[in-house]
Amino acid sequence: MTKCPFRVAIIGAGFGGIAAAVKLRKYTDVEYTIFEREAGVGGTWFINRYPGCEVDVHSHAYSFSFIKYDWPRTHGTQEELQQYADWVVDTFGIRPHIRFNTVIAQVRWFDEDAEYEVTTAAGDRERFNAVISAVGLLDVPNIPAWPGLDSFQGVTFHTSRWEHQHDLAGKRIAVVGTGSTAAQVVPALAPIAGELFVYQREPGWVRPKSQRPFTPRERWIYKHVPFAQRWSRAKIFWQSMRRANAHDVNSRRQRRMRAECEAHINRSVQDPEIRKALTPTYPYGCKRVVTASDYYPVFNRPNVTLVPHAVTSVTPTGIVDATGTERPVDVLVLSTGFQPTRFLVNIKVYGRDGIELHNVWKDRQSAFLGITVPGFPNFFILYGPNTNGATSVIAQLETQAAFAARAIRRLRRRRKSSVDTNPTAAEEFVRWIDHQLDKHASVWSAGCTNYYHDEHGANVTQWPRSHLLYALLARFTARWALRYS
């Protein structure tokens, strides 16, 4: 290897940034700096602190594969995931490399030096040999443009920017949205709210979750028995792969998953009218399936009302729905999701010849394996286009981080200064993705509203196959796709 320093900037200290640091340590001898916008690590789990916040993927899958952890529950709460992120960071000595409260605004490639100039929002500039973006996908809140929203005189906030200073006890609260976040917020608010209105534009399919604490015996086994946690992880991935067969709308698995969810509604909700309003008419899996056991029973409570209509406007004192009915409320909680089809929206990335990434992406946001874009040497994207939706995002991030670290290792071993993507590989990849989406994931275009498609109608967020296939492709296609110079 050539001599240090080869410097890598990592943007974000969420699970992606942490994975990048660990993989760089494993595969290379480079120096790295992590720039983090917030005051702590954990990314989405640092920001999202709404009541009831916890992950809906099993802890043994929603964790790094490279280190065993003594999980207290089958599904980590926000606090537990935050603790886990801190623990991994400290276990691997990553914290001294992190610059907190630092926003990156721009990244510019200088071909003659084979370096990026990284510029913070405060205007500070620094040079790095490579950049790994780990800014996540579900970060920029989707704030609806309802007429009158600004005039609302009560309290309003988005779930991902929860304002904990307000006492919500006894208040009339409206939650707008019924996605995975709302399915956690609503059961947490129902016992304390005076009245709770849940505004549902289009219902989602909801599977039971079955979260519980691990028994002391289970914890002992997962801690001490070799491979027990790995075996549990493998089983979860296997089950998730089988459920993914339902992505074909005509499959038997599709019918089985719908039946499972319908039975869940029928078991949990007493009122037949509400059951009907909660039941989707489109195929299972078209929207991201919500996993929650305590969501449906909330609608049996006398203080909870399901409003199965879109919001059309907001008045200074209430919310108006599509039937024209206004309901006075004190608190308006926007559980309206994010803007995942706008990748790297807050960072300007300039590659070779000064071209800006969003210009390259004006017709279609794409990257080879969602990670590298031709013309942007030494730049790696974690959780980029078409990489969402395979069992555990942490596993995907780990794979992408390893891909980046191995590419940097090869660069160093070959004594080269830049690694770029073969344009043919990038084009072939998009063609392959679109084919796979058509063939294996017809459900995502099966007549519902979901957040996967861009303004041109292309599905730019979803990975249509298993995590295993993604990991294999990441391991074995790099030599074909990457060019070193």
Residues that bind ligand NAP (CB under 6 A): 55-57, 138, 142, 144, 176-182, 201-202, 287-288, 310-311, 335-338, 449, 451
The least CB distance from residue 338 to ligand NAP, in Å, is: 6
CA 212/CA 335 separation, integer angstroms:
25
The least CB distance from residue 391 to ligand NAP, in Å, is: 11
- Token pair 């794979």: residue: 399
Q: Which two tokens stand for residue 177?
A: 């949205």
The residue (of 37 and 288) whose beta carbon lies closer to ligand NAP is 288
The least CB distance from residue 225 to ligand NAP, in Å, is: 27
The residue (of 254 and 335) whose beta carbon lies closer to ligand NAP is 335
**What per-residue string of b and e applies to 449-485 under the rule 16 or more CB within 10 Å gives b?**
ebbbbbeeebbbbbbbbbbeebbebbeebbeebbeee
Terminal Cα distance for the chain, rounded: 15
The least CB distance from residue 12 to ligand NAP, in Å, is: 16
The least CB distance from residue 388 to ligand NAP, in Å, is: 7
The residue (of 392 and 417) whose beta carbon lies closer to ligand NAP is 392
The least CB distance from residue 146 to ligand NAP, in Å, is: 7
The residue (of 30 and 319) whose beta carbon lies closer to ligand NAP is 319
Helix extents (H) in 127-285: 182-189, 216-224, 228-244, 252-268, 272-278
The residue (of 201 and 258) whose beta carbon lies closer to ligand NAP is 201
The residue (of 147 and 170) whose beta carbon lies closer to ligand NAP is 147
H/E element holding 382?
none
The residue (of 38 and 202) whose beta carbon lies closer to ligand NAP is 202
- In DSSP terms, 257 is beta-bridged to none
The residue (of 51 and 423) whose beta carbon lies closer to ligand NAP is 51
The residue (of 251 and 312) whose beta carbon lies closer to ligand NAP is 312
Q: Which sign does the torsion angle of CA 76, 78, 80, 82 carry? A: positive
Tally of residues, the chain: 485
- Strand 7-11 and strand 31-35: pairing? parallel
The least CB distance from residue 236 to ligand NAP, in Å, is: 14
CA 117/CA 131 separation, integer angstroms:
10
The least CB distance from residue 17 to ligand NAP, in Å, is: 18
CA 20/CA 11 separation, integer angstroms:
10
Give yes or no for a contact between 50 and 160, defined as CB atoms under 8 angstroms apart: yes
The least CB distance from residue 138 to ligand NAP, in Å, is: 5
Chain CA centroid to CA 43, Å: 10
Q: Write the DSSP assignment of 251-296 as a string of letters.
A: SHHHHHHHHHHHHHHHHH---HHHHHHHS-SSPTTSSPPEE-SSSG
CA 387/CA 467 separation, integer angstroms:
9
The least CB distance from residue 159 to ligand NAP, in Å, is: 6
Phi-psi region of 223 (alpha: psi -120 to 50; beta: other; left: phi over 0): alpha
CB neighbourhood size of 295 (10 A)? 28
The residue (of 62 and 403) whose beta carbon lies closer to ligand NAP is 62
